[in-house]
Amino acid sequence: MQVSVETTSGLERRLTVGVPAERVDSAVDARLKEAARTVKLDGFRPGKVPMKVVRQRFGQSVRMEILGDVMNQAFYEAIQQQDLRPAGRPSIEPKNMDEGKDVEFVATFEVFPEIELKDYSGITVEKPVSSVTDADIDVMIENLQKQRASWDTVERAAAEGDQVDIDYVGTKDGEEFAGGKAEGQKLELGSGRMIPGFEDGIIGLSAGEEKVVALSFPEDYHAEELKGAAVEFKIKVNAVQEKKLPELNDEFFTAFGVEEGGVEAFREEVKKNMERELKRAVNTRIKDQVMEGILAAHSDLLIPQALIQQEIDALRNQQMQQFGALAEKLNPKDILPDELFSENAERRVRLGLVINEIITAEDIKADAAKVDEALEELAGSYEDKDEVISWYKSNPQQLQQIEGMVIEETVVEKLLEKAQLSDVTLSYEEVLTPPKKGGDDE
């Protein structure tokens, strides 16, 4: 078998392969002889059809099948011979398929890049130093109460934080517009659900009162005909309701799995959960900074477009799942074009290639003790912790995800040994609030 390789550009390779005619012809003959034993044709007994007839009837179609098989096999033999690692399926272009002559084809494909791992001592990481305070616990408990709050009707003017029952009609140039009318709508004042100024216009109104407010839609509003439009809303308040928080009693505590111990036990349980979340958030912040450092160090690494396209397709498929049954009627590329995912896809591919190279170079494997520790932490927030751990251990695919997470954490630990690490003191809320990306407004 004759093989030649040409680098066309960057990571693209052009592989020319020549396969001896005898290899194809012998495979065709073998396939036809096999078919002759079972083929059925009018005028002949099964298995008694002459080879000449079998060849005339089926020779061309069998040859095409064999050519496909031979080219696929020859391609994989050729890349092994040339020590090439394709990053995606090849594009096969037949050059000579004539019977009795050597077969020749050209395969064009991208290869994985050769990765030279960089010096990571320049990576700078700010490690958040934080703790859960009594004040943080107070805020969390109040938020839990708000989640289970009830609404009591009151005979007073509406204030921010109240819920109102309203009817309203919106008009533009004196005419009602689509989507601008509702009856009996519940609205929490201060929620920001309506366009700017709408909720403010209701504050101070009591049940039975009406008001016309003049507003403008935002310039970036989703409906084209309303972008920046000056409108009026006629609003009638049907009822004003005040939020009533549930009492901190045994009934409330039981709803969160605390059966005994009263408020002290409840606060301790809340604190444990908050500390678990804080630890995760700290680790995520550190990991994100390390990953950004890896990306910066390998910003000039050539990335196979085939891998980027695969990642784009995967991200798009994930997004399409949100459309449910409607997705079957939609063309994914029409509503979610490649451009929406290309930047994120390239980032993920670049990071994945470098991390895999680090894993190989450092011979990193999932430490069994760390996997057990990760499972313990993951299951810690569930009532039946042992059942959750058992479920993961009995599901190889799920357990593999945990092992992958442990391996990635080990990579981060290795790089932190070389990075420039400094502590930064933050509050619980600051740690759990995602940091703004570069270029965002403060």
Residues of 164-179 as b/e, b for ≥16 C-beta within 10 angstroms? bbbebbbeeeeeebee
> Given CA atoms 398, 402, 404, 405 in this order, what sign does their dihedral have?
positive
Residue 270's domain is classified under what CATH number? Answer: 1.10.3120
Q: Could you tell me if residue 378 is inside a domain? A: yes
Both 308 and 419 in one domain: the answer is: yes
Per-residue pLDDT tens listing for the chain (442 residues):
889 999 998 999 999 999 999 998 888 888 888 777 777 777 676 666 777 776 777 777 888 888 888 899 999 999 999 999 999 999 999 998 888 889 999 999 999 999 999 888 989 999 999 999 999 999 999 999 999 999 999 999 999 999 999 999 999 999 999 989 999 999 999 999 999 999 999 999 999 999 999 999 999 998 889 999 999 999 999 999 999 999 999 999 999 989 999 999 999 999 999 999 999 999 999 999 999 999 999 999 999 999 999 999 999 999 888 877 777 777 888 888 999 999 999 999 999 999 999 999 999 999 999 999 999 888 877 878 889 899 999 999 999 999 999 999 999 999 999 999 999 999 999 999 987 764 444 3
Q: Classify residue 139: in a domain, yes or no.
A: no
- With respect to residue 39, please indicate whether it lies within any of the assigned structural domains: yes
Q: Mark whether 256 and 240 lie in a shared domain.
A: no
Shared domain check, 268 and 181: no
Does residue 141 lie in a domain region?
Answer: no
The residues near 395 (Cβ < 8 Å, ≥ 6 apart) are none
One domain for residues 375 and 302? yes
**pTM of the prediction?**
0.75
170 in the same domain as 192 = yes
Q: How far apart are CA 345 and CA 353, in angstroms?
A: 12
Q: Are residues 427 and 304 in the same domain?
A: yes
Q: Which of 221, 244, 267 is the last residue of a domain?
A: 244
Residue 190 DSSP label: T
In a domain, 439, yes or no: no
**Does residue 186 lie in a domain region?**
yes
CATH number of the domain that 22 lies in? 3.30.70.1050
In a shared domain, residues 228 and 275 = no
Last residue of a domain, one of 209, 244, 279: 244
Q: Quick one: 267 and 411 in the same domain?
A: yes
Residue 227 belongs to domain spanning: 150-244
User: Residues 307, 407: one domain?
Assistant: yes
Same domain, 103 and 178: no
Pairing relation of β-strands 124-129 and 420-425?
A: parallel
Closest of 368, 316, 358 to residue 337, by C-alpha: 316
